[in-house]
Structures are given as C-alpha cells and as structure tokens.
Structure 1
C-alpha cells in the first residue's frame, strides 16, 4: 500500500516536469539578424507586438516560448524582405487585433477610436449646457 502511494506521489510530481516544453527555441528567437538595419526594423516591430501568453509584455521583452517563436517569425520575414506593415498584417490575421499595441481602424477596432471621442463630445455638451444656464 505504501509503495502504491509513493508511486502515485512520484507520478503527480513528475507529470508537470514531463509536460515542460522540450523543443529548443526557434533559431532567431534570441539571435539577432546580421544586417543592422534589418535588426533595427525587427526590434522596432517586436516592441509593438503583444506576447499572447504574457499579455502585458511585448514579444521583445517576453521570455515565453510563444514570444520566441513570434520573434523568430518577425526576424525571418524581415530577412526575407517583407516590410514591418506586411508582417504586422500577417500576425493580426493569424492572432487577431489584440496582438498589436498599435491597432488600426477596422470593423472590429473602430470602438477603440470612437468611444473616447464620443465621451469627450458628451462631456463638452454637458459642460456647455451647465454653464450656459448660468448666463
């Protein structure tokens, strides 16, 4: 009985270790491009892309395996001659608008731009109406 409990306890402890990612990081996850201009463009783009696992860090700052894969994709595509805008569009299509810290106006993101403007207009109308009565 004690052997069975000891085996079960060892199994419970060993399962999370076995679930760890054993794949090595992508080649360009931590290695920079040889061309300084391309690396600069890649770095600037990576700072504007959100790590989907960490959610509060850019892929340039995150150590998550997914962020490493995204850095690899950015550097590979920059080295292949794609522009940062093309890469951002590809990542947005793949992961959704949430991946970008710099959203563009689209059918899904227009409230991000419209609601603050509407709130400012509403506050202005309220202030005009309130101070207009006093005169």
Structure 2
C-alpha cells in the first residue's frame, strides 16, 4: 500500500506542479486561448494564486516525507487539492462546462485517495 501511495503522490504532484506552473507562466489570455475558458471569470491575480496553491500542494506531497519533516503535511496537502478541485467543479458547473466536470472530479478523487491512505491504513510516521 505504501508503494502505491508513493507512486500516486508522485503522479498527483507532477500533474499539479505542471498545472500550477502553466498558470504562473502564462497570461490569462494565453490560458483562455489554450482551452482554459474558466479564466474569463477570474482575475489574473486569482489565477496566479491558484497556480501557487497547486505548486505548494505538489511540493507538500513529496518533500515532507522525503526529508522526514512533518509527514502529516502529505494528507493535508492532498486535502487542499481535493478542495481546490471541488471548487473547480463548481466553477465548471456554474459555467455549464459539463465536459470539464469529469476531469475535475477525477483530479479530486486522486488526492482523496492519498488523504484516505495517509490518514488511514498507511500513514507516514
């Protein structure tokens, strides 16, 4: 179980690090043109803040247990990603972007498995 959770954490961290970096490095207009239509509802500062949160959570999934410092941050970072993706789901529902809802729910489910695994049967000590 521990190996599975490490692999899942690495995958989730890579996905959210890349997503956060994209939000930080591209302008609102570039993101909107690249298929992120939801950015029309958010200020550039809010989009950058979401990117920062994604990057911090990605780091929180990997670095604390590697350094053996506050491993409880792993499920907390994962819980933050679940909340972020539930917010994204609500945004897509409000905008009637039904095709994006499935993606955001899967992106909420993956870190939710980490929350369950690290708070439950395979905690990091």
- Tell whether the structures are fold-level matches, with TM greater than 0.5: no
Structure whose CA Rg is larger? 1
Bigger fraction of residues in helix: 2
What TM-score, normalized by structure 1, do the two folds share?
A: 0.28
